[in-house]
Amino acid sequence: MSNEIEQDDEAFAEATLIQAIENQLEAGEPAAAQATLNKLTLVGYEREESVQMMALALAHEIRRMLAEDRPFDGAAYEALLRNLPELPEQA
């Protein structure tokens, strides 16, 4: 049962992160979000795959923020976006 709950939590977290990326794209903030999507699309990634990679970058920054007990670092997040499709190292 607990494995099922973990999978549900992971699916919810992924959906929430993807929605956050969609919100950033719609708002145009940060500008790096749209630039990243454009770049990934240009080099051949499907939009869905690109948004998933961007969500992984967001998750990475959120994990670091929580682990280091500090505010969200927008500059670090934008740097992670710019490095895509190279994914951040998993801590």
Grouping H, G, I as helix, E, B as strand and the rest as coil, residue 33 is helix
Cβ atoms of 36 and 54 closer than 8 Å = yes
Residue 90: per-residue pLDDT = 59
Instruction: Read off the pLDDT of residues 67-77 as tens digits, 9 standing for 90 and up.
Output: 999 999 999 99
Residue 78: pLDDT band (50, 70, 90) is very high
Query: Residue 54: which of 67, 41, 64, 69 has the closest Cα?
Result: 41
pTM of the model: 0.87
Residue 10: pLDDT band (50, 70, 90) is confident
Instruction: Read off the pLDDT of residues 21-71 as tens digits, 9 standing for 90 and up.
Output: 999 999 999 999 999 999 999 999 999 999 999 999 999 999 999 999 999
Cβ atoms of 81 and 38 closer than 8 Å = no
